[in-house]
Each structure stands twice: as C-alpha cells, then as structure tokens.
Chain A
Amino acid sequence: MKFQYLAVIFVIIIMPIALVMNFYTQAQIDVINKQTTYMAKLNDATYDAVKAFQLNTTNSYYSSISDSKIRDIEASINTFYNSLTSSINYTKLELQEYVPAIVYTLYDGYYIYGKRYNVYDNVEINDSTGVVEQIEIDTQLNDVNRYEYGLKPFVYYSCRYKKGNDDFVVNFTLDNFISIYGKINGNYESKSGYLININDCTVNSSGVVTAYKDANLSATENLSEYLIFAEKATSEGEESIPSSTSDFNNGEYIYIVYNSQKIYRGKDKGGEERYFWFNQGEATVLAAPAEELVQAFENKTQSARQYYTDAYNFSIWVNNNIGSIGQINIRLANTAEPLEFIATEPIFETSNQDPEDPSSTFNQHRIAVIKNAIKTNLMAAINSYNSNSSATEFALPELSEEEWDKVVNNVCVIAFVQGLPIGGKYFNSYTVIPNDKNNEFVDVDSVYILTSDGQYHMPNCPELVENTSYQDDIVGGYINTSFSRQTSDGKYYYKHVQDRNVRSPYTACYHCIVNASEKYDLNDDIFLNESNTIEGHNIKVLRDKFLTYLSREKYNLYKTTSYGANT
C-alpha cells in the first residue's frame, strides 16, 4: 500500500475520534459551567430572599410576632422564586419540584417551607351532642393533589431532661436566652431569661446589678429618635381630627420601651406634651397616659441594669434548681427514654462557667441541641419529599462545620435544590446565607456606638480602642437596624441625627464599618475582656458604655416567647 493511502486511512480513523472527543468534552464543560452558574444563582436568589426578609422585618418593631413573621417569610420565599425563575428558565411551579426545603432558622426555632400534606386524616369532630362531622379515611395517602406548598409548623430548639423529681424541657435560642417548662422538684414551673455568670455580677444593697465583668452599667439613659410625620390628608368635608391623633413637628423625640411597646414623648404643634406610638409616619396619641407611664418617663430608661438584674436572678434560680443536670439526663422528647450520653458535666451551672463564652459547656450543648433539632426534622422533610416530575432520591446533604457555625449563631436561610437536570447530570446543591440585620435578637455585633463627631462605630473599632480620649466622646449606642434609612411619605430620613436643626445623620466610621476591621476581636477583646485593657490600651470607658447599650437593647427587644423570670 502506498504511504499516502496509509495517511488517508489514519485520518479517516482519527477524525471521528477527535470529533467525538471534542463534542464530549464540550458537553462536559457545558454541564460543569451550568452547575457553577446555577450555584451562583442559587446563592443570589437566597441572598435576595434574606434581603426581602430584612426589608420587611427591620422596619417593624413587632416583626417577631408569629403572624407577621409568617407573612414576612412567605414574602421572602416568593422573592426567592422570583429571583431564581428570572435567572434560569423555569417557572415557579416547575422549580418547586426541585426545591425540597427552604429553612428559615430564627431566634428560638425554625420554619421549613416545603410540601405538606394538608388534610385531616380519619378525624371525627365531636361536640357534646355526638358526632357532628366525620371525615373519611383517606385511602390515597400519597395522592399528590393533597399536598400543597407552605410553611410547616414552627419547631423550637428544645431538649428534654429527666432526673429524680425533675422532668422538664428547655428551649434554647441563638444566644444565652432560655425558656424552661416542666416539673422541677415536683412543681410545675415555667420560666425564661438570660443565663449569665453569676460570679461576674456586682450587686448593690437593693439587689440591682451595677456592673458585669468589671464594666459599670449606667443607671439611667435618655433614648431618642428623629421622627418624620406624614402630611395629613385633610379632605374638604373632614371637620376635625380624631381625638387620638395630634399634629407634631418633625424632630427628635424621647422614647422608652414600656410594656413591650415603644412610646414617645414630646410636644405637639400646640405646645402640649403628648405620649404617643409612632408607626409609619403617624402618631397615635395616648389620650390619658397611665400614671406608671409618666413615672416611667421620669425614671428614664433603666433597661441595662434591669437586664442584668433579671438575668442574675434567673441564673441563680437555674443554678440552684437545675444546676446539676448533665448530658446523661437528656431524654427523648416523646417517650422519655434515655439516650446514649454518659457525660455528667453540668450544663446549666452558672457559678463556674460563662454561658456567653462560645467554648462553655452551656454553649456547646446549645449548639448540639440546635443542630440536632434542625437535622432530624430537615432530614425527615427532605427524605419524605416526593416529587412527580423527577426521579431523584431526595436526601439531606452533609452541612460543613463552617456552615453549621453560621446556622447556630445567626438567623439564616438554607435553600436546597435537588435533581434539577443540567444536561448529563443533575444539579444537587444547597446554600446557607446568614441574615445580619434583624429584629429577632441582639447579637454582640449588632450594637453601634455613636460619638459626638457625628460617626457611629463598631465596639471593636481600632480608633475607639486605641484612643482613650475618643472614648469619652461616646454619646450613645443603638441596635444596628435603627441606622438604616427610613422612608416616610416619600421622604428619606435617619432615626439618629447629630444636630437636631440641621438633622445631619450620623455616618458610618471608615475604620470599622465601611471598611470592616478585624484588628480586635469583638468577643474576646471587648465583650468578655474583664481586664479592661487590650495591648496596653485602656478600654474601660468603652466597655462600660458598650455593655450598657448591649444589655439595654437586649432588654428592650420585643420577645414573643418569654415566660418572665419571676422567682
């Protein structure tokens, strides 16, 4: 055979192989590219959902009330689907089949959004006269039409303990707040409060905590916010303004939190002193303010000391009554059967450990409980998720330690997508996006400190830490959500203004907020640093004020699941 023929035969053999290889590699590349873009889009959509949740909750003081929260979460889920459907070519209905669960982990529990079976199953509804209505047994339990998408019931981060006469349940939260209910020493008790180290408290003769971890707490504070009032629409026929409302000038008003309500005091346009609620540009004047309310304004805000005093009393009670409970006492929630734990290290002891320290026994246990609570339910929710459009076996992926770290310390959204076809493969992924701005709870890093030069700072701002005289310029501190831009009647305004007349808002510090700094650790160097010095810098003034603001904001936050700490 001639040499040329050999070449031709070679080419005939090689060409198709090369082409097929080319095609195959290209297909693989497309799949992986699609996978990375979908991942990025899932991240973006979840972030959009978090953002929607933030927008709806941060401007509402009562956003932690469950009705309001369910509404906010459903809105946030719509945002998630809107965002995802606009970036990949699926409709919401199609996409839902591939999203076995979206989890909203909140302060004291979590919601799972997914498919649920929404029908009474073999139920008889009785009244005193006998059977009124009987709903027939549903033979087609797996009928897909009976499933609908929605939020499943709220699940608390809870754990049951049993020891001798004690048989009780503790609800944990993202911080050191716990609720206890059940039999303790044979009596039924229900209590809730913050756990702190009782040996770190300085208590005065009247039983009030005046200092915690060598940071002096201010006895009283004046809190104020700048308010803008909406223009009242007065139509021709309208004769008079209803008696409960009154006209106010835009300006700074003093407020206190009284019985879980934010009440402002100030003079109206007629010069009369009024007490009022404020909601979206409108003031609702209290016609006859209670004597106690007037007195409460006279006493100013004492929440900082109140917070530690309540926490102190609660922690003593916890230490005395359930201080000896260890892991060995953990029981299954429904059957009270013991689990395979043998550790006896006391979890709730508050005399030797600092529950706010991330490495304390209490904290480690709290993290384990939260993880377990989420895992068990989520696993069940995802495994049982049946989808008629995809042949995927749904299963809970293993979340990494880093991701769990976000979940147990923050309000988070976890979104799962499984079985979405992307060419030769299926897209299986999830994402965890924490929500930093919320009214769910006050974290250590969610208090901003105001200085008289018109800036607000993080407590670990290097400028503040390294400059003792600058610390003397601190004029106040509020929760970070109150620094976001407010809208009223189409006008923008900020709640914290430096100059009442010019109303120039406080601006973010360029050393700690705009350009986040990590020079000093917020927990170890500031919050828990009893020595009041760091690298030779005296931070006594800063710590005094920071702890005052932090505890006041914690105390003032509206809480739905509180039994009170009465001892």
Chain B
Amino acid sequence: MSDSFITIIAIFLAAILMFIFPLMSMADRTDDISQLAVQTATTEFVDKVRTTGRLTLDDYDQFVSTLASTGNSYDIEMTIYHLDENPGVKVTQADITKVGENLYYNEYTTQINEKLDESGRINLKEGDMFSATVKNTNRTIAELLRGFFYSVTGNDTYQVAGQHGGTVAVNGSSK
C-alpha cells in the first residue's frame, strides 16, 4: 500500500468530517427549527379555529405565510368534521333505531379552499371537529445530503410535518 493511497483516503475522510458532517448537522438543526415552527403554527392555527368557531381566509393566509417563512414548500391538508346531531339520520354504520346518534360528515381541503375563496370564511358550530396536517413537499438540504449517502424510499418521505386537531368549542356565527 502506498502512502499516497492512504493520503487520498484521509483527504476523503477529512472532507466528509470537515464539510459534510457539520453541514449535515446544521441542516438537521434547520429542519428541527422548521419542524418546530410548523408544529407551533399548525397548533395555533387550529386552536384559533377551535376557539373562535371560524375559519377565515385571513387566518389561513397568515398560516400559509408563516409556513413559507421556513423556506420550504408545504402541502396543507385540512378536514372539517361537521357534527350532525339529527336524531334518526339513516346511515349504514350507525344504529338507526337509536335516537340522536351523533354522526359527522366531512369536508376536505379542496372543498374548504373553494369555500374560503368564495366567501372568505367558514363558520363552524360547537361540537364540530377541525384538523390540519402539514407536510413538506420539497427536499430540504438535510434530505439532499442524506440522499448523498443513503436513500429512503416510500411515499411519506417528508422531513417536516405538523399535525393538530380537535373539537370546536364555540358557534362561529357573528355577533
């Protein structure tokens, strides 16, 4: 083994240790911070909807721009579960003889966005449920660097994600 071969190995190792490792470490931290920002923003957004009973275009836009400030692009999925307290509503999965079986019917992201664009707000009522899930769609630097060494396959290879949901506490009608 020649000395020059070891030197080449050493240069590679040094390059990895001195550049890639710190870079990966920093990129990971950046993602952690993004993750934190996204989780906080999602919780705040959902909690605001839950405590006001109102989903407004303003709040949604603000939420989107908070997410954008992390430097990644995101896929936002929202679901509204409308509580249907009507007694004896006939469905297949509930006992129709039981009076007042509580059912939910759902609205999803595209329907919600359509409504928001149309009227600027969606009112919810007490007992409805609202949830939002956020996942990044781009490849963050940490992911790129990691892809350099190994790759993770599968559909859900997101790095930054936030999820929150819960029951709406109040009727959203304007007063």
User: Residues of A with Cβ closer than 8 Å to B?
Assistant: 3-4, 6-7, 10-11, 14, 18, 21-22, 25-26, 28-29, 32-33, 36, 39-40, 43-44, 46-47, 50, 402, 406, 409-410, 431-434, 436-437, 443-445, 458, 485, 492-494, 504-505, 507-508, 513-519, 521-523
Given contacts A43-B51, A433-B51, A445-B175, contact A504 B88 (CB under 8 A): yes
Nearest chain A CB to B49's CB is how many angstroms away?
Answer: 11
Task: Tell whether, in the assembled complex, residue B124 and residue A47 are in contact, meaning their CB atoms are under 8 Å apart.
Answer: no
User: Which 5 A-B pairs have CB atoms at the shortest separation, nearest pair first?
Assistant: A516-B123, A7-B14, A507-B86, A47-B169, A36-B43
How many Å lie between the Cα of A136 and that of B86 in the bound state? 63
Known: A437-B126, A522-B174. 9 other contacts (CB 8 A): A7-B13, A25-B32, A29-B35, A32-B40, A36-B44, A50-B169, A433-B170, A514-B84, A523-B175
Q: Which residues of B contact A519 (CB under 8 A)?
A: 119
Main secondary structure of the interface of A (DSSP, over half): helix
Given contacts A431-B51, A432-B51, A508-B86, contact A32 B36 (CB under 8 A): yes
Task: Tell whether, in the assembled complex, residue B126 and residue A485 are in contact, meaning their CB atoms are under 8 Å apart.
Answer: no
Given contacts A47-B167, A514-B82, contact A3 B10 (CB under 8 A): yes
24 A-B contact pairs sorted by A residue (CB < 8 Å): A3-B7, A3-B10, A3-B11, A10-B18, A18-B22, A22-B29, A26-B32, A28-B36, A29-B35, A32-B36, A32-B40, A36-B39, A43-B50, A44-B167, A406-B170, A409-B175, A445-B173, A504-B88, A507-B86, A514-B83, A515-B82, A516-B125, A517-B123, A522-B175
Task: Tell whether, in the assembled complex, residue A507 and residue B82 are in contact, meaning their CB atoms are under 8 Å apart.
Answer: no
Nearest chain B CB to A48's CB is how many angstroms away?
Answer: 10
Which residues of B in the span 9-32 have a Cβ within 8 Å of any Cβ on A? 10-11, 13-14, 17-18, 21-22, 25, 28-29, 32
Task: Tell whether, in the assembled complex, residue B14 and residue A4 are in contact, meaning their CB atoms are under 8 Å apart.
Answer: yes
Nearest chain A CB to B148's CB is how many angstroms away?
Answer: 18
Q: Does B139 reach chain A (CB closer than 8 Å)? A: no
Task: Tell whether, in the assembled complex, residue B173 and residue A494 are in contact, meaning their CB atoms are under 8 Å apart.
Answer: no
Q: Does B171 reach chain A (CB closer than 8 Å)? A: yes
Task: Tell whether, in the assembled complex, residue A518 and residue B17 are in contact, meaning their CB atoms are under 8 Å apart.
Answer: no
Q: Which residues of A contact B175 (CB under 8 A)?
A: 409-410, 443-445, 522-523
Partner of B169, one of A14, A26, A36, A433: A433
Chain B interface size band reads 35 or more
User: Residues of B with Cβ closer than 8 Å to A?
Assistant: 7, 10-11, 13-14, 17-18, 21-22, 25, 28-29, 32-33, 35-36, 39-40, 43-44, 47, 50-53, 82-89, 99-100, 119, 121-126, 164, 166-167, 169-175
Nearest chain A CB to B126's CB is how many angstroms away?
Answer: 6
Nearest chain B CB to A170's CB is how many angstroms away?
Answer: 23
Q: Which residues of A contact B121 (CB under 8 A)?
A: 518
Q: Which residues of B contact A513 (CB under 8 A)?
A: 125
How many Å lie between the Cα of A251 and that of B164 in the bound state? 46
Partner of B25, one of A22, A431, A523: A22
Task: Tell whether, in the assembled complex, residue A39 and residue B47 are in contact, meaning their CB atoms are under 8 Å apart.
Answer: yes
How many Å lie between the Cα of A523 and that of B86 in the bound state? 26
Q: Which residues of A contact B119 (CB under 8 A)?
A: 518-519
Nearest chain B CB to A360's CB is how many angstroms away?
Answer: 15
Nearest chain A CB to B30's CB is how many angstroms away?
Answer: 10
How many Å lie between the Cα of A507 and that of B22 in the bound state? 63
Task: Tell whether, in the assembled complex, residue B87 and residue A505 are in contact, meaning their CB atoms are under 8 Å apart.
Answer: yes
Q: Which residues of A contact B171 (CB under 8 A)?
A: 436, 445, 516
How many Å lie between the Cα of A96 and that of B6 in the bound state? 67
Task: Tell whether, in the assembled complex, residue B25 and residue A518 are in contact, meaning their CB atoms are under 8 Å apart.
Answer: no
Partner of A25, one of B29, B166, B174: B29
How many Å lie between the Cα of A36 and that of B52 in the bound state? 18
How many Å lie between the Cα of A519 and that of B39 in the bound state? 33
Q: Which residues of B contact A494 (CB under 8 A)?
A: 87, 99-100
Q: Which residues of B contact A515 (CB under 8 A)?
A: 82
Nearest chain A CB to B174's CB is how many angstroms away?
Answer: 6
Task: Tell whether, in the assembled complex, residue A10 and residue B17 are in contact, meaning their CB atoms are under 8 Å apart.
Answer: yes
Q: Which residues of B contact A4 (CB under 8 A)?
A: 10, 14
Task: Tell whether, in the assembled complex, residue A43 and residue B17 are in contact, meaning their CB atoms are under 8 Å apart.
Answer: no
Residue in A closest to B89 when the chains form the complex, CB atoms = A507
How many Å lie between the Cα of A3 and that of B17 in the bound state? 13
